[in-house]
Structure 1
Amino acid sequence: MWRAVASNALTILVVGLFLMGGLILWGQSQYKAEGPLETAICLQVESGSNMTRVSRELEDQGAISNATVFRMAADYTDRAQRLKAGSFLVREGASMQQIIDEITSSGASTCGSEIEYRIGVARTQTRVRELNPATLEFVDIASFDVSEEESPAAYTEKREEADTRYRVSLAEGVTSWQVVEALKAFDALTGEITEIPAEGMLAPDSYDITSGQDRNAVLQAMQDKQQLRINAAWENRQDGLPLNSPEEMLILASIIEKETGVLGERAQVASVFVNRLNQGMKLQTDPTVIYGVTKGQGTLGRGLRRSELRRATPWNTYVIDGLPPTPIANPGQASLEAAVAPDDTNYVFFVANGTGGHAFAETLQEHNRNVAKWREIEAEQNSSGN
């Protein structure tokens, strides 16, 4: 009798183990398999929430097939206690494993609203945007100049939402003074800036920030990135350039940045200045004269006067020989690369061509013809009111 009982118990145990093993395999397949979500969604995880609440919401929205398996998987992988608050993008077909990774990893929101602070050469704007999970594209909710006295209601509302993301975007060619003044006006940041970073040492780029972050920390991130770019560009420079240091490279890059916004002609513009330096010619570039007038504190807002072109300042390349003593703006990576890898040309002149780019010339005679053409274009534009 006892043998029969023992035999039956062993049989039940084996069957139980078999079923349990099958259940585990099924759970694993559910955890890693493509999910049922047909259209991407934004998952809002409130502060103080837990995996039980999140799993139910995901199941209700059709993102997972089984809330229990989701919770068990989060516990089994030791991720349940690492749930982050925020707004997270759950893509169509996302597996439970991918969703758990998304909501327990960095904690940075990947969906929802974003306030972007755009620091440009002419103006600084704030954009309030929201991600459309169906198209994975941001849609502008509001856009306004920082100089406006009142902010739109959408901005105020999004500032009050805990999961709103923030970003500072820095355009190529802005000055360090402009960046500092703009950051002072951004009410999402804190801390007093006591020193303006050296001209040219802030990397134009887009930076993720957090509400309440110190302004000096944002500036330091910009400086760190620019230093890396400077080091890389100098390391990869062409042989024989008339540049004796990374500092001179940075100065030249800033002039290139201010002379052209056309990506494809930066290396041509660089070749003009390199050729002039090699031949002992003055650089004669208007942006350096403007910097001598403004010291980088805003835009000139008018054309240069003849007296300003003749006025001696450390930056007036119509007067001084060679490069000015400092950069005249913060150059982007493309201008840094152009400064150390100019095109191989004989160009020593260039002038606007009316299409946003420039006409280049090797001789003064050719340059004068290009200038005459540009004067005709200017006259036509002025007469038509453009």
Structure 2
Amino acid sequence: MAISITVYYAQQTFMAPGPLVKDVAVVIPRGAGLEKIANLLKKKKIISDVLIFQLGARYTKRARNLKAGEFLFPAKSSMDEVINVLEQGKAVSYSITIPEGKTSVEIIEILRGDPNLTGDILVVPVEGSLLPETYLYVRGGTRQSIVERMEQALVKSLDDLWAARQEGLPLKSKEEALVLASIVEKETGIAAERPLVAGVFINRLRLKMRLQSDPTVSYGLTLGKVPLGRSLSRKDLKTPTPYNTYTIDRLPPMPITNVGRSALEAVTQPASTRYLYFVADGTGGHSFATNLKEHNKNVRLWRSVKMK
């Protein structure tokens, strides 16, 4: 009879709500055995009895299925529910958002600043080889693994969008599309405006006009290693570099930043337009023009806005 009462008590305790007052995330170390896990859970006040927890895990044949990682345990979880969490292995996920238009150097610094990631990145990725977006990971994930995922995501997006590109584009390869997308990315932060900006550059390429994009000049001076930190001068515009589209008659040799998917979409599906020029309008957007006379008028308006 005493044994039956003991078994009944153990079963009831195993299935009863636990002592945890509020949800809590706990890291289960890799290689931890059942006893160590039980003691850790007891210390964190997730379970009430170390022995009953171990007996229950063994009796239900789940003792060998418990995973390592960081797990979220809901308040009042029974020991049975705690074991389910550890058996299913659905670790707590974190996210890191990489803004569009960041250089590879800037992206590496963002990754290094995330305290939940581990390891370092020894080699800065090639400019334009990363796809900025939000990436999920679990605690202990490596910074290098995020870089590799960003590289893979860029390759897939570029392949897919290039395969579905608009016919007749004056771009010889998907690599050229990526370079142009990087210029569009730096020229405007307004997603709805990107196809129009891309359309302007596509028109210029068709007419063999120089692109004359200020961001390419800035990149040629710094190579993306540090911000320029000042406005461009007339001398800058005339200083030849492989990236200065005021002095070269073609696209730059490499991207000038890392692009988001919308910039790639804009370049592979540009707006149909007759515009050849654009300039900032003082509201965050741009004024577009089909000829130089109209463009110069827009430039004067922009300068008057800047002086106010």
Of the three residues 101, 110, 119, the one matched with 1:190 is: 119
Alignment of 1:70-81 (within 5 A): 78-81=61-64
**Unmatched 5+ stretches in structure 2:** 1-11
> Could you state the TM-score of these two structures normalised by the residue count of structure 1?
0.62
Tell whether the 8 Å contact from 2:91 to 2:138 is kept in structure 1 after alignment.
no
Provide the C-alpha distance between the structure 2 equivalents of 1:216 and 1:45, rounded to a whole number of angstroms. 22
- How far off is 1:315 after superposition? 0.9
* Rg (Cα) greater in structure: 1
Distance 1:58 1:212, change over 3 A: closer
Q: Which residue, 145, 155, 171 being the options, matches 1:227?
A: 155
Structure with the larger RCO, 1 or 2 (CA within 8 Å, 6+ apart): 2
Of 99, 103, 107, the residue aligned with 2:86 is 103
Moved more, 46-55 or 232-241: 46-55
Root-mean-square deviation (Å): 3.8
Instruction: Give the aligned partner of residue 198 of structure 2.
Output: 270
Query: What's the CA shift for 1:276?
Result: 1.1
Instruction: Report the number of matched residues.
Output: 285
Aligned-residue offset at 1:181: 5.7
Write the mapping of 1:123-162 to structure 2, written as runs, cut at 5 A.
none
- Contact 2:169/2:202, CA 8 A, preserved across alignment: yes
8 A Cα contact 1:40 1:89, kept in partner: no
- Measured in 1, the distance between the counterparts of 2:151 and 2:108 equals 13
Where 1:242 maps in the other structure, the secondary structure is coil
User: Is the counterpart of residue 41 in structure 1 residue 34 in structure 2?
Assistant: no
Quote how far apart the aligned CAs of 1:223 are.
1.7
User: What is the deviation of 1:105?
Assistant: 3.2
Deviation at 1:259, TM superposition (A): 0.6
Q: Does 1:89 align with 2:89?
A: no
Q: Distance in 1 between matches of 2:80 and 2:203?
A: 58
How far, CA to CA, are the matches of 2:193 and 2:60 in structure 1?
Answer: 53
The 3-state SS of whatever aligns with 1:321 is: coil
Amino acid in the other structure paired with 2:154: Q
**Shift, 1:226, TM fit:** 1.6
Q: Which has the higher strand share?
A: 1
Cα distance in structure 2, aligned partners of 1:309 and 1:371: 16
Q: Give the match's secondary structure for 2:242.
A: coil
TM-score, normalised by the number of residues in structure 2: 0.76
- Given the superposition, is the C-alpha separation of residues 349 and 362 from structure 1 closer, same or farther in structure 2, using an over 3 Å criterion? same
CA contact (8 A) 1:270 1:339 kept: yes
Match for residue 306 of structure 2?
A: 378
Q: 1:96 to 1:177 in 2, by over 3 A?
A: same
Q: Kindly provide the amino acid, as one letter, of the partner of residue 353 in structure 1.
A: D
Correspondence list, 1:250-269, <5 A: 250-269=178-197
SS of corresponding position for 1:88: strand
Q: Which amino acid aligns with 2:282?
A: G
Correspondence for 2:226: 298
* Contact 2:24-2:75 within 8 A present in 1 as well: no
